Amino acid sequence: MFRGGFFPAGRIACSAISAIDIALWDIRGKVLGVPVYDLLGGLVRQKAVCYPHANGNSPERLAEHAQSLVEDGWKFVRWGVPQQGEVLDPSWAVRETIKQCEAVRDAVGEEIEILIDVHTRLDPPHVITLCRALEQYRPYFIEDPLRSENMSTYHQLARHVAAPLAVGEQYATKWEFRELVEQELMQYARIDLCIVGGITEAKKIAGWCEAHYIDLAPHNPLGPVSTAACLHLDLASTNFGVQELPRKPGTTLPDVFPVQLEWEDGYLLPADGLRDWGLSLMRRQHWLIRTVKLRHRSCVGPMEHLRIGRCESVSGRHKTCPYKNSVSLHCFLT
């Protein structure tokens, strides 16, 4: 699928590839009766530490929310650079983020890790000012400080900034990670398994990062399938750092996935009783799995239908998957 077209696959095609790849890993695990992390090399940890998203329209409100998250058991707190209404004033955002960091650090103490997401919204001069000012608050990392089109700007940032950087959630291929990994311009790789090519490509990037002492902080803004795929990569990767988890398991699509992963005191774990079963998710058996007919145009051959496992679309009707509880292509749709 990636190489079947004349033009390189973009983010939409790579997202489709990711969905199929994750589904196939899940099916393989279910057929063999083993967890996906065993297929990736086996456990190197029993659970993965996670971070939630804190919010608040003032430094004081943000600090209060961060403190409540810590009281709930989280070991990390993360928030994004603020803006005023629909407008982002870079200078104001820098000043306000510094105030936020001071308030949150005072509220949660020294034992809790803090993470700040710039979301690629500032230019190099403002980012340098912000990162240098935040170093006194010891952030675990500063996320996506610069736009992702020109990775060379990270050379400039590395010359001026000592705070750890986390980059990569917008990248759709391993080649986009190449300069940042090989030049060691980041400390954490924000691999998005639902864009980069699924578990298969994410595992390659993870090993590449390990050789350069870069840890993993997988991007995970989506639902149960994305979360499960991330967890299995985390459990099988020696260079895992922290996992994004904006919502606790069971709060998203519980009617579709009644059995999801477990959360305990800031850590994500496989669902109890399903540790040996694919991605450790259970889909309701009476739900039909919607299937999608995918076509790709080859520069040397005719249009082809892509079959996913033994599920395929037939004249607009649906066939159920032979593996009754397989996640299959639901990750395509959520």
Residues belonging to the active site: 119, 219
Closest residue by Cα to residue 192 from 225, 214, 212, 221: 221
Distance, CA of 332 to CA of 13 (rounded, Å): 11
Q: How many CB atoms lie within 10 A of CB 320?
A: 15
**3-class SS of residue 148:** coil
Residue ranges of alpha helices (H) inside 149-245 are 153-160, 174-182, 198-211, 224-235
Stretch (H or E) spanning 21: helix 11-32
Tokens 């051959």 belong to: 301
> How far apart, in whole angstroms, are the C-alpha atoms of residue 249 and residue 223?
9
Query: Is residue 181 within 8 Å of 214, Cβ to Cβ?
Result: yes
User: Judging by DSSP bridges, how do beta strands 295-296 and 267-269 pair with one another?
Assistant: unpaired
| Cα 104 from Cα 99, distance rounded (Å) | 9
